[in-house]
Structure formats: C-alpha cells, structure tokens
Copies of this chain bind each other. A is one copy, B any other.
Amino acid sequence: MNNPKVSSRKTIILREAARLFREKGYSGTNLRELAKSSGIQGGSIYHHFSSKQEILYQIMEYTMTILISKIGELIGSEPEPFEQLRKAIRFHIEYHTSNVNETYVTDAELRSLTPDNYKKIVVLRNKYEHIYIQIIKDGIRAEKMKIDDVKLVSKALLQMLTGVSYWFDPNGSLRINEIANKYIKLFFWGIAGKDNQNHEEAS
C-alpha cells in the first residue's frame, strides 16, 4: 500500500482491516481484533493511524486512486473505443477479483465515512465511472455502439462486473480471463444476439 518497504506494518494493518471490514463490516470490526491479526497490541494502531475512520478512508482513497490511474494508462494506449471497452472490462474484473477485500469495502462502506471523507471518495468514484461513460460515448460517435442511455448502461455494466468478485472462486473451474470473455460477449451481444463468438473484429 505504501512504497518503501513492501510489507510494512502499516501495509499489514490496511490489508487486515480491509479483510475484517469486508467480513464483519466497519462498525462490526473492533481495533483490538484488527491489531491482533496485524501482530501488535490494540493501542499501537494509533502510532500508524489517527483514528479508525482514517484506516477506512485510506483503504478507499488508495483503491480508487489506483483504479483511476491504471485504467487511465490502459485506454490511453488504445484509440479504438470497442477495444478500449474490452480492455476496461477485463481490467475491472481482474482488479476487483484480485483485491476483493479492498474493492468490496470501497464499494459497500461509503455510508461509514464522515461527511468530509465521503465527499472526497464520491468525487473519485464519479471520475472512475465517467471514464466508462466516455468510452461508450466515443463508441456511439464512431457508430460502433447503439445506446440511447449511456449513464444507465454504464451503471449496469459496472454493477455486473463488480458482482464477479462476489462469487468468484480462485479454486473454481473458471479462469478470470474466461470470465472476462464471457462478460464481454454478454455485454456486447446479449443473450439473444449473435450466436458466433467472432467479436474480434475491432477497428
């Protein structure tokens, strides 16, 4: 989470906090248990964070910042909207499944933020969502996509993709890459559309 040492105590606390917050909720988690599973005593958490709230905020702020920056790079190096969307979908699923705890908390614990922190995170959320909206708008302009309500469609997409991390099982039979392909196909052609899988005719 930080840079210097890959797994400093602070990093450990943030990782364990994300896990506990997902498993028991923010209010349902107490700092003594968090400390214990981070290998320190209860009070010692306050050497690294000023409050419980700050731990939650840092998890969310970090997660959203990474999401935004990574997807920025991704679509920056790809001009074609259709292909941008494919890459974005793949990325969203990959990141959310390999960082379930953090992304789940970022998604579900908005209500536990103080008003100030809430505002800041919502700004980042909207920023991330707007990247998807923009891709789809570009796709329409390039006459590749046919949509009359971009906002609704992008919300539907993100909701659908995030859901993967709720049921994904690393030991299951499906690889992330296969799942991404299935979702791309579903989102592009629906359940009653094309029966062939030739969705590789980009630009």
Interface residues of A (CB under 8 A from B): 23-28, 82, 108, 111-112, 136, 139, 144-149, 152-153, 155-156, 159-160, 162-163, 166-167, 174, 179, 182-183, 186-195, 199
Contacts and interface: CB of A to CB of B under 8 A. Distances in A.
B191 A188 contact: yes
B136 A191 contact: yes
Contacts of A27: 24-25, 27-28
A162 B163 CA distance: 10
Contacts of A162: 159
B147 A191 contact: yes
A59 to B, nearest CB: 16
B189 A193 contact: yes
A198 to B, nearest CB: 12
Q: Is the interface of A mostly helix, strand, loop or mixed?
A: helix
A62 to B, nearest CB: 22
B182 A186 contact: no
10 contacts: A23-B111, A144-B192, A153-B182, A160-B160, A186-B190, A188-B190, A190-B190, A190-B193, A193-B193, A193-B194
Contact of A152 (B108, B144, B179, B195): B179
Given A111-B23, A163-B156, A186-B156, A191 B28 contact: no
**Most chain-B CB neighbours within 10 Å: which of A146, A188, A190?**
A190
Given A24-B111, A108-B108, A111-B25, A153 B191 contact: yes
Top 10 A-B residue pairs of the complex, sorted by shortest distance between their CB atoms: A159-B163, A190-B190, A27-B28, A193-B193, A27-B27, A189-B190, A146-B195, A160-B160, A188-B192, A145-B191
Contacts of A155: 163, 167
Contacts of A146: 191-195
A153 B192 CA distance: 12
